[in-house]
Structure 1
Amino acid sequence: MHGSSGGTSGTAGFDFFGAGELPAPHLPVAEVAQIVRAQWRLEADLTPLGSQQDQNFLARAGGEPVGVVKITNPAFTSVELEAQELAAARIAAAAPELRIATTTTGAHGVPRSVVAATSEGPRSIRIIQFLDGGTLSGDGYLSPAVVRRLGELAGHTSLALADFDHPGLDRVLQWDPQVADRVVDFVARHHPDASRRRQVTDAAAAAWARLAAVASELPRQAVHLDLTDDNVVCAPDRGVRLPDGLIDFGDVTRSWAVAELAISISSVLHHAGAEPASVLPAIRAFHDLRPLSPDEVAAIWPLVVLRGAVLVVSGEHQVQLDGGGNAYAASGIEREWRIFEQATSVPTEVMTGVIAAQLGVELHARHDTRGADEARAVELGDGRSRPPLGRLVPDLDAAAIERLDVSVTGDAVDAGAWLDPRLDEDLARAATDGWADAAVLPWRTPRLTASRIHAAASPATVPTGIDAWFAEPQQLAAPGDGDVVAGADGRLVVALDAGLRLEFDGEVQDPPAPGTRVGAGDGLGIAASGARLRIRLLHAGAPPVPHLVRPEYADGWLALTVDPGPLLGLGWTEPAAASDAAAATSPAADAAALVARRDRSLAEVQEHYYDAPPRIERGWREHLVGTDGRVFLDMVNNVTPLGHGHPKLADAVSRQLRRLNTNSRFNYGAVVEFSERLASLAPDPLDTVFLVNSGSEAVDLALRVALAATGRRDVVGVLEAYHGWTYGSDAVSTSIADNPNALATRPDWVHAVDAPNPFRGVHRGADAARYAPEAAARIQGLAASGRPPAAFIAETFFGNAGGIPLPDGYLAEVYAAVRESGGLAIADEVQAGYGRLGHWFWGFEQQGVVPDVVAVAKAAGNGYPLGAVITSREIAARFRSQGYFFSSTGGSPASSVAGLAVLDAFRDERLQENAAEVGGHLRRRLEELATRHPLIGAVHGLGLYLGVEFVRDHATLEPATEETAAVCDRLLELGIVMQPTGDHQNVLKTKPPLCLDRASADFFVDTLDRVLTEGW
C-alpha cells in the first residue's frame, strides 16, 4: 500500500516508524509501590492492569481505590503527556455530565507526574484519578443503549477537542488511521499465520484505496483516538450499566475527526452477538451531536476495516516484542481477530450504503462503487432515470406475467403455507400451468418463504433481483451491448456497456461462450420451461451480491442493484434517493414511521410494546412475523390460545360475516349454541351466561351483578391485582404497575387485602397459610362494622404477579367468609381460565372451589371481541332489577361463531392437554436454568401460565426491574417476544399461545440461557 497522508518529517513528538520496537515497561510491583510511597507519600496496594504499551496499576489504600498508577512508555515525551492532561481537562470542562480521569495532584506539593529512576531507567509516572463502575472490557453483550452511549461519548469528545491545539499533538502513532497503510506494511510481516496475514493485508489495501478517494476532504482535529470499550467507565444504574466516563488519554493526537467514531464502533464488534449492524446506534448518536459530512460517512467503514487490520498485526507484534510476557496483549489476539472478521464480513460498499440510509445522507459521485463512466451511463443521479436497456425476452407479453406475492401480507402465505419450502415453485407452476406465460417474484420485496422459525438472527429475506419461471422455453436476448464473462458456479454473466452487470442463476441452455461480444438483441441462450431463473442487474463495480440478503443490510445491498423487472416488460421501480432510502426500504425505518403515525392519531396512554417495536403484520400459531419476514416466537400472547392465524376460526368468522352480524337481541342460533356450550363447561350451579366484548367488561358486569344481587356497595379485592380498565374493573384493580396511583385513588367502597403471594408477599413460604384467615377476618370486620361486602373478587391464579398459585385452601376459606356475610364470590378467570393451567379448565378448580360469578374473556374469542359472565339462574335473575342488558358485539353472530370455533379447537387440538405437557417441560427446563443463573429468584406457575422472577438478591428479594426490561429487549433481538409483569415489573410474563410446541419451548429457554450468559 502506498500514498499515506501521514509522515515523520517535522514531527516533534513520538514517531512510531522512527522508534522501532516499543516494548512496554515491566517494573516489579514492589518497586512501583516504593516509588509511590516515596514520591506521593502514599501507602498503597497495587494490582496490575492491562495495557499494550504502558504499565498500569490500580492503587488501593485502606482497601479503597485511590487512583491508577501509570508508568508511561519511555518513547513518549513530557510535551505529549502535557497535551494528554490538557485534553482531558478540556473534555471535562466542555461536558460536565461526563466523568473524566484526569491526573491527580500529589500531597505536599508533589507534581502531577514524576520522572523516577527505575530498574529499567528513567520512567515518567503519574497517578490518575480512579473512576468507579468498571469498563466494558470483556466479550459480554452490549445493548443498543450502551452502543448508543458510546457514540454520544465520541460525539462529546469530538466537539470538546475540535479547537484544541498543542505541540504534544504532533506525533505519529501506530493507531492513527492516517498512517494505517504504513503500519500494516511495517508490522504485518511479523504475523505468524500466513493465511490471516494475507487476509489482513488484502483487506487493508482495499480499504485504504477507498479512503484515499475522500481523505483530502476529511476534517482533522485533536482526537482521543482510543475511546473504546476498554476506556469508558460505566455508572451502574440499578442493574444496567451505561458508560459515562473516559479514561486513558495516552493516544491523544491530531487526526481525522471521524476516526474518533470509527475507533469507538470498532471496539463493539468483538462483543457477544455483535455484527456490523450493531454499531448503527452509535453512528446515529454521534451524527445527532456532531453531524457527519458525506465524505466522512464514506470514510467510516474503511476506517473500521483499517482499525481491525492494525489491531491484528499490532497485537501479534506486541506479543512478540514482549516475549509473551504481556498477558494483556496476548489475551487480545482472538478478540482483535474477531473485530477484523466482523469488519470485513460485509462489503464496505454495503455498510457505507446502510450508514448513509440510516443517517439520511446522500453520498457524492466520488463515493459511488461504480466508475465515473458507469455512473453517467446508468444515470442514477438526482434524475433517477431508467437505464437505456431493451427487453430480455422480446416476445413475452407483460400482461401475461403473474406477479407472485409471498410477502408477509400476501394471501398465498396464509395458514403457515410459507413454511412449505416448495411454495414458491408451487405458486409459479400453478400460474404457468394456467393462464400465465411467466411468473415472477419481484425485486426488493421481503419474502416470507425465505424466512424460518426459531431464528436468533434475521434470515436473508430481501431479494436483490427477481425470480422468473416460464411456461415455455424462452429465447433470452441481450438488453444492450456488452461482453459475456465467466460466472462462478456456471452462472451466465454479461457485462453491459451501460455500466451494469446482468447475472443469471439457473438453467440457461446454449449460452454464448465467455469472451463473446454481444449486441443489443443478440441471443444469450434459452431459459428452460418450468425452472426457476434468478436474474440480477448490478452496477458493474459492485462486489458479488447474494440473491437474498438480510433486512438489516438491505439498504446497502439494494443500492448496488437495479430492478430487473423492466427487462421483462414489468413496471420500472424507481430507486429511492439516499435521503429517503431508509423510509423506502428499511423495515426498521418503516416501523418507526408507523409508530410516529400511531402517536399522532392514538391517545398517548395507549402504549405499545418496546421503545422501537418491529412492525408485525402476520402471525401463525405461536409465531409473529414482521414486515421484513423476521419471525418472532410469541411467549406472551394469552389472548390467542389457539395461536395466530387459525384457519378454521378465520373461515368460520369470515363465513358468518358474509351472512349476518348484528347485536345479540336478534334471534339466531350461534348465540344460543355458544352460551349452552360455555355453561356446560362450568360446574353446578353456574348455568347462566351474559355475553360481553372484553375482560374489563366481564369483570365490570360481574361486579354489577353482585351489587344488584346483594343490594350492597362494598367489594373486597386483593392488592397487586389487575382486573380491567372500565370504571368498575379499574376500581378493584390495585396494581401499581398498571396505575402508579392505584392505591391512593381507590373509591371508598373498595377494600383490599394483602396479595396472597407466598414468594415475596408479607407472608412467605409456610407462613403463606396466614393470608386466608387474615382476609376472612377483614371481611368479617367489614360486616361487623355495618358494611358487609357485596363480593370478594380475585384472580383464581395470581396472574399479575407472574403466574403464582394461591396458597392451598385460600379461596375456600375466603369464599366461605364472604358467603357467611351474605356476599358473593367472584372468580376473575380472564387469564387463568380456558385450560391454560393444563390440569384444569378453570383456575378455581385448582383451589377446589366453585365461585358464584365467573368473569371470562381473552381466550374465549382467540383475539375476537368476546367475553362472558357465568353465574347461576337465581343470581342472574336479580340483575333484572337494573333494567335490561345487551352487548352489541359480545354475543353477536360473528363473536358467537368465534367462541364456538375456539371451543372446537380446544377439543380437536387437545390444547389443554398440550398446556399440561409442554408447560411441564417448559417449567422443568426453566427450573434447571435457575440453578445456573442467580438472577432467577423463582419460577412460578402451572401449565402455560408461568412466570420467571428476577431478583438482585435471593435474601432480600430486591426486584431486578431494570434487568428484566433489558432482558426482554435482548430477547426481541434474538427472535422472542417477551414482556415484564408484576408490580415490580421483574417477572417474565410467560403466557404463550396454548399451541406452543416443545421445539418453541426449548428455543425460548435456550435463548434465555444465552441472554443470561452473555449479558443484556
Structure 2
Amino acid sequence: MSTAATGFDFFAVGELPAPNLPAAEVAAIVAAEWGLEVELEPLGSQQDQNFLAHAVGLDDPSPIGVVKITNPAFSASELAAQDAAAARIAAAWPELRIATTTSEAAESGSGSARSIVAETSEGRLAMRLLSFLDGGTLTGDGHLAPQAVARLGELAAKASLALAGLEHPGLDRVLQWDPRFADRVVSLLAPHHPDPVRREQLVAAAEAAWATVASLADALPRQAVHLDLTDDNVVCRAEGGRRLPDGMIDFGDVTRSWAVAELAITISSVLHHAGAEPVSVLPAVRAFHELRPLSPAELAALWPLVVLRGAVLVVSGEHQVQLDGGANAYAEAGLAREWRIFEQACSVPAEVMTALIADALGVGVGAPPRQVHRARAASRGAEHGEVARPTAATGEPVRLDVSVFADEVDGGAWLDGEAFEERLGLAALDAGAPAAWLPRGTPRLTASRTLSPVSPATVPLGVDVWYAEPQRLEASEHLDIDGAAQDADGDWVVPARTRIRARLGRGDAPHLVRPEYATGWLAVTLDPAPMLGLDETGGGLDTLAGAPDSTGRRELLERRNAAFAEVQEHYYDAPPQIERGWREHLVDTDARVYLDMVNNVTPLGHGHLGVAAAVNRQLRRLNTNSRFNYEAVVEFSERLAGLVPEPLDTVFLVNSGSEAADLAIRVALAATGRRDVVSVLEAYHGWTYASDAVSTSTADNPNALETRPDWVHAVEAPNPFRGRYRGADATRYAPEAAARIRELADSGRPPAAFIAETFTGNAGGIPLPDGYLAEVYAAVREAGGLAIADEVQAGYGRLGDWFWGFEQQGVVPDVIAVAKAMGNGHPLGAVITTREIAARFRTQGYFFSSTGGSPASSVAGMAVLDAYAADGLQAHAAALGRQLKRDLEELATRHPLIGTVHGLGLYLGVEFVRDRETLEPATEETRAICDRLLELGVIMQPTGDHQNVLKTKPPLCIEPGSADYFVEMLDRVLTEGW
C-alpha cells in the first residue's frame, strides 16, 4: 500500500524515541507559560511523555490536568486533528467524558492557550494541558467483567459513529499502529526481537493474518478512527460494584484507517487481563455491533486484525525498549502484556473465531445451517464411495450417551472418564452390536473435571467408534483417525474392539474443544459419522439435547419466565442450565462442573444413591398419606424424637421449612390461647402466612418492616458485628429482648411465643451472643409463652460440634421447626414438641398433610439419618469447618474488603465491607464477586439484609480439596478483581 502522507510517516522516520524531559523542567515551563505552580507525576507512554499535574498549595488534592509532551515527529496539523476528534466525540455523545485540550488558563487568569510549543533541553516540543478525568483507567492486568468488556465495545462504536464524517488534513499520516501497514511494521521490526523462536511465531502468524486481511481490504470501509481506544485509554466510574468505562482519553493516534480497526484494537487490549481469552471479547463485539453493525467483510477481517495488532504490539514494544536504551519503563513493563495479547490472539484459529463471532452476532457468516451441515458430511462420503459398513456382525450400531442427561453416568460414574466410555463401548459389542460410537457435538460429562477455574474441553469434533470386527476404510482427504494405521494405499486399517477417533475437515482440529468455542469449531469441521456407516443423517450440532447451545439456554430461561411466576427468582442474571449433581458438585449442559458452596438443602450431596434407591423402592411399593397405618412413618418419627432432648417427644411431619415454621406458630397459638408472637429482626422463617408474618428480612421483602401484622412484635437483631451493640456489648441484646416481652405481658398482650433462628442464618451465619436464648426463653416462659427454635438451616449437624443450634446456646426449646437437610432435597419438614403441647393443638381441629410423612418421604428421611451416621457428617462438618474458617480468616488479613468471617462448622458467612471502621456494606461488590466466582467454577450467593455476606453453607460431604479450592478462587477474585 502507498505510504504517501502529508503528516507523520513511520516508515520515513524509522525511529521514534520518546521525549524524556526532567519533571522539574516541565514544571518550570508550565509555570512560565500558564502561570500554574504544579507538582508532576510521571505517566506512562510509549512515544510521548505525560505527567499528571497537581496544583501546589491547594487544599484540593485532585489533579488539575495532564501535561502531554508530544513526540517532535508529529506536526501541528496532526495535533489539531486530535483535538477535532475529541471535540467531535464529546459533541456527539454528551454522556461520555472526553479528555479535551483545556483552552483557557482559568486558574491564572492569563487567558493563554493550553497548547504551546516550548524551547526545552531536547529542542522545540509541543505541550498541551489536557483536562483530567477522574476515576482511573482499566490499566493493569486485573480481571475485566463482561460488563466492562461490553462497555469497551460500546465506547468503540460511539467513537466510530462520531468520527465517521470527520475530514481533516491532520488525519493524513502513516502510523505503525495503523493495521493497514501491519505487514510492513512486522517485517521492519521483527528482526529486532531477541528471541528467534518467538520471532518466527510472530512472522508466521502475521503473514497468515495479513493474507486474509489483504483479500478483504477493498471491501473494508475507511474513516477517521481513534485507533487507541484500549484499557489504558478509557476512564471509569463505579457501577454495580465494578469500575466501568464511561469516557476516553489520549487521541494521539487519531488517523484515517479501516473502520473495523477501532474494534479490533479495543478488543485486543482485553486479552492480557486476568482470566481473559479470545471468547472474553464477545461482549464487546456484540455491544459494538448493536450500535454500529459490522459488514460481512469487517466480520471476516476482525480476528485477523486482532492477530496483527498483537504482532505489532510485540515487535514495536521490543524495538522501543531497545531504542530508548532502558529509559522507557512503560514500554519495558508492557513486553509481557503484549506477548500475552499476541499469544491469546493466536490461541484459536482465526476461522474458528470468525465463525464464533458470527454466531454470537446472529449473522450468516458463521456456522452453516444444520441441514446444510449434515448434507455436506453425507455427500462427501457418498461422492467418494467411502461409506463404511461394519462387517461380520448383525444389527445396528449403538450410539452411546455420556452427556449430562445420561442415566449411565449416575453415581459419579463419569469421573472414570475414558475408562468408563471404554466399558460402555465394549459392553455394547458384547451385547451383539456391530459397532458402538460416541457422537460429535454433544458435550461429554466423562471429559469434564471437578474444581476447574476454566471450562474443560468436553465437546468432540469427531466421533469415537468401537467395531466388533476389523474394518478397512478407504482413504479420504481431510479424514483423520486416531487409533488406526494406514496401509501402503493410505487406507485406514481399524482393529476390532479398539477405540478409534475420527475427525473430518481440518488437520489442526483437536479431539475435544471447550464449549465456549464449540460453535466455531463445529462450523469449520464436518461429521465423519456418515462416512463410517454410523449415522446416515449425520450428527452435527444437534445430536442430543445436551449439545452446546447458548441460544437454547436463553430460550429455556425465556420459557421459565413466561410460565413460572416471576417472583420465583433464579440465581444469576445469565444462569447456567444445571441438569445434574454429584456430591458437592453441580453440572450444566455443557458438562461444566461447578463447586456448590450454598446448597444446605443437600447435606449428603447431590445424586445420593442411597436416598434415591430408598425412595425408588418405596414408590414402587406404596406412597400414600399418613392417615394409613404403615411402618415407615412410625419408625421415622421415633428416630426424630430420639434426636432431641427431653421433654420433647412428639413429631408432626410436613413438606418444607415454611410449613414447619407456620405449624410451630399455630401450635403455640393453640397451646397458649394467645395471638401475639415475638420475632427477631433480619430473620426469615418462610413464605406461608404465619411464617412470612414473623419474617423481617428486608432482603427477602423490602417492605417487611412496614407490612408486619399487629400481632407480630420484633426485637432487635443480636448482631455483634454491625448491630447497635458490638463485641462484648452484645450481651445487652438479651436483656432488652426480655424487657420487651415483659412490656407486652404488662400491656395485656402476653406473647404466645418467641421464635428465632438458633443461629442467624439469613443474616450471614452469625452465632447468637452467649446466653441470648437462655435469657429470652426464660422471659417468654415467665410470661406463659413458648420458645420456638427455628432449626431449618442450623439444625442437623451443620454446626459441627452440635447437632442442633439450640445446643450451642445451652437451652431446650418448647417447639422445634426443622426441614432442609432432613430429606437431602426431598420435600420434608417437621415440628417436634412435647406430647402436652401437641395435644392442645386439637383445639384447632385435626391436622393433616397429604404428603408430609408419606412412605416415600419417611424412608427418604431415614436414609438421610443412616448416611449421616455412616459418613460421620457432623464430625466432618466440625473438623473441616474449623479449617475452612481459619483459611477464610487468613484471607481477611490480606483483603480489606473482608470485614469478618462469621459462623461455626459448615455454616459460615464472609461479610464484605467497603470500610472496616464504618462497616459500609459492600453490597454491589458482593454480587459482582459471586458472578466472578461462577466464571471460576464456584456457585456462591449473597445473603443478609445488605446482601453483602457470602452464604457459605455447602453440602456436608464436601471434600477438603473442594473447600481449599473455594478459598483459592475467592483469593483469586479478591486479588484479580471482579
TM-score, scaled relative to structure 1: 0.93
Residue 753 of structure 2 corresponds to residue 791 of structure 1: yes
For residues 394 and 715 of structure 1, what CA distance do their matches in structure 2 show? 75
Q: How does 1:502-541 map to 2 (within 5 A)?
A: 502-508=479-485, 511-513=486-488, 516=489, 524-538=491-505
Residue 705 of structure 2 aligns to a residue whose secondary structure is helix
Residue 236 of structure 2 corresponds to residue 216 of structure 1: no
Determine the structure 2 residue equivalent to 1:466: 463
| Deviation, structure 1 residue 437 | 2.0
| Deviation, structure 1 residue 636 | 0.2
Determine the structure 1 residue equivalent to 2:405: 409
Determine the structure 2 residue equivalent to 1:387: 380
Residue 13 of structure 2 corresponds to residue 19 of structure 1: yes
1:686-731: CA deviations, max 9, x gaps?
A: 1111111111111111111111111111111111111111111111
Residue 706 of structure 1 aligns to a residue whose secondary structure is helix
For residues 511 and 241 of structure 2, what CA distance do their matches in structure 1 show? 43
1:615-655: CA deviations, max 9, x gaps?
A: 11000000001111110000000010110000010111111
Residue 645 of structure 2 corresponds to residue 675 of structure 1: no
| Shift in alpha-carbon separation, 1:576–1:77, aligned structure 2, 3 A | farther
1:552-585: CA deviations, max 9, x gaps?
A: 11111111221122123333456879xx999995
Residue 906 of structure 2 corresponds to residue 944 of structure 1: yes
| Deviation, structure 1 residue 296 | 1.4
Residue 26 of structure 2 corresponds to residue 32 of structure 1: yes
Residue 63 of structure 2 aligns to a residue whose secondary structure is strand
Residue 665 of structure 2 corresponds to residue 703 of structure 1: yes
| Deviation, structure 1 residue 384 | 8.6
Determine the structure 1 residue equivalent to 2:294: 292
- Of 167, 185, 188, the residue aligned with 2:187 is 185
Q: How does 1:890-905 map to 2 (within 5 A)?
A: 890-905=852-867
Determine the structure 2 residue equivalent to 1:805: 767
- Of 86, 89, 94, the residue aligned with 1:88 is 86
Whether the 8 Å contact between 2:443 and 2:548 is mirrored in structure 1 is no
For residues 810 and 548 of structure 2, what CA distance do their matches in structure 1 show? 54
For residues 33 and 389 of structure 2, what CA distance do their matches in structure 1 show? 85
Letter in 1 for 2:222: R
| Shift in alpha-carbon separation, 1:111–1:477, aligned structure 2, 3 A | same
For residues 646 and 450 of structure 2, what CA distance do their matches in structure 1 show? 44
For residues 158 and 888 of structure 1, what CA distance do their matches in structure 2 show? 65
Letter in 2 for 1:558: L
For residues 869 and 381 of structure 2, what CA distance do their matches in structure 1 show? 62
Q: How does 1:247-258 map to 2 (within 5 A)?
A: 247-258=249-260
Letter in 2 for 1:504: I
Determine the structure 1 residue equivalent to 2:602: 640
Determine the structure 1 residue equivalent to 2:2: 7
TM-score, scaled relative to structure 2: 0.96
Residue 625 of structure 2 corresponds to residue 629 of structure 1: no
For residues 294 and 230 of structure 1, what CA distance do their matches in structure 2 show? 29
Residue 940 of structure 1 aligns to a residue whose secondary structure is strand
Residue 904 of structure 1 aligns to a residue whose secondary structure is helix
Determine the structure 2 residue equivalent to 1:159: 161
Determine the structure 2 residue equivalent to 1:457: 454
Letter in 2 for 1:749: W
- Of 104, 107, 111, the residue aligned with 1:106 is 104
Determine the structure 1 residue equivalent to 2:531: 567
Between 1:271-280 and 1:211-220, the stretch displaced more is 211-220
Residue 801 of structure 1 aligns to a residue whose secondary structure is coil
| Deviation, structure 1 residue 535 | 1.0
1:960-1000: CA deviations, max 9, x gaps?
A: 11111111111111111011111111111000001011111
| Deviation, structure 1 residue 469 | 1.0
Whether the 8 Å contact between 2:376 and 2:526 is mirrored in structure 1 is no
Q: How does 1:295-374 map to 2 (within 5 A)?
A: 295-363=297-365
Determine the structure 2 residue equivalent to 1:988: 950
| Deviation, structure 1 residue 525 | 4.4
| Shift in alpha-carbon separation, 1:431–1:873, aligned structure 2, 3 A | same
For residues 115 and 748 of structure 2, what CA distance do their matches in structure 1 show? 81
For residues 226 and 200 of structure 1, what CA distance do their matches in structure 2 show? 21
Residue 167 of structure 2 corresponds to residue 174 of structure 1: no
Whether the 8 Å contact between 1:441 and 1:468 is mirrored in structure 2 is yes
Determine the structure 1 residue equivalent to 2:618: 656
| Deviation, structure 1 residue 358 | 1.0
For residues 403 and 237 of structure 1, what CA distance do their matches in structure 2 show? 50
- Structure 1's consecutive aligned runs of 4 or more residues displaced over 6 angstroms after TM superposition are 381-385, 580-584
| Shift in alpha-carbon separation, 1:258–1:645, aligned structure 2, 3 A | same
1:730-756: CA deviations, max 9, x gaps?
A: 111111111111111111111111101
For residues 469 and 618 of structure 1, what CA distance do their matches in structure 2 show? 27
| Shift in alpha-carbon separation, 1:596–1:446, aligned structure 2, 3 A | same
- Equivalenced residue count is 965
Letter in 1 for 2:231: D
| Shift in alpha-carbon separation, 1:966–1:771, aligned structure 2, 3 A | same
- Of 842, 848, 866, the residue aligned with 1:886 is 848
Whether the 8 Å contact between 1:563 and 1:572 is mirrored in structure 2 is no
Residue 272 of structure 1 aligns to a residue whose secondary structure is coil
| Shift in alpha-carbon separation, 1:379–1:619, aligned structure 2, 3 A | closer
Whether the 8 Å contact between 1:690 and 1:870 is mirrored in structure 2 is yes
- Of 409, 423, 428, the residue aligned with 2:425 is 428
Whether the 8 Å contact between 1:555 and 1:581 is mirrored in structure 2 is no
| Deviation, structure 1 residue 593 | 2.0
Q: How does 1:575-614 map to 2 (within 5 A)?
A: 585-614=547-576
Residue 553 of structure 2 corresponds to residue 553 of structure 1: no
Residue 468 of structure 1 aligns to a residue whose secondary structure is strand
1:335-389: CA deviations, max 9, x gaps?
A: 101111111111111111111111111128xx99xxxxxx9xx975999974342
Determine the structure 2 residue equivalent to 1:126: 128
Cα RMSD after superposing both structures? 2.0
Residue 137 of structure 2 aligns to a residue whose secondary structure is coil
| Deviation, structure 1 residue 137 | 0.6
| Shift in alpha-carbon separation, 1:397–1:556, aligned structure 2, 3 A | farther
For residues 623 and 362 of structure 1, what CA distance do their matches in structure 2 show? 37
| Deviation, structure 1 residue 56 | 0.5
| Deviation, structure 1 residue 932 | 1.5
For residues 92 and 558 of structure 2, what CA distance do their matches in structure 1 show? 33
Residue 941 of structure 1 aligns to a residue whose secondary structure is strand
Whether the 8 Å contact between 1:468 and 1:533 is mirrored in structure 2 is yes
Determine the structure 2 residue equivalent to 1:756: 718
For residues 45 and 397 of structure 1, what CA distance do their matches in structure 2 show? 87
1:417-438: CA deviations, max 9, x gaps?
A: 0011320111112111222222
Whether the 8 Å contact between 2:444 and 2:459 is mirrored in structure 1 is yes
For residues 199 and 903 of structure 2, what CA distance do their matches in structure 1 show? 55
Whether the 8 Å contact between 1:386 and 1:572 is mirrored in structure 2 is no
For residues 629 and 246 of structure 2, what CA distance do their matches in structure 1 show? 68
| Aligned-pair identity (%) | 71
1:48-71: CA deviations, max 9, x gaps?
A: 111011111100112320000011
Whether the 8 Å contact between 1:379 and 1:386 is mirrored in structure 2 is no
For residues 546 and 76 of structure 2, what CA distance do their matches in structure 1 show? 54
Letter in 2 for 1:387: R
- Of 73, 76, 100, the residue aligned with 1:75 is 73
Residue 214 of structure 1 aligns to a residue whose secondary structure is helix
Whether the 8 Å contact between 2:721 and 2:727 is mirrored in structure 1 is yes
Whether the 8 Å contact between 1:151 and 1:283 is mirrored in structure 2 is yes
- Of 46, 55, 61, the residue aligned with 1:52 is 46
Whether the 8 Å contact between 2:480 and 2:507 is mirrored in structure 1 is no
| Shift in alpha-carbon separation, 1:45–1:583, aligned structure 2, 3 A | farther
Letter in 1 for 2:495: A
Whether the 8 Å contact between 1:48 and 1:58 is mirrored in structure 2 is yes
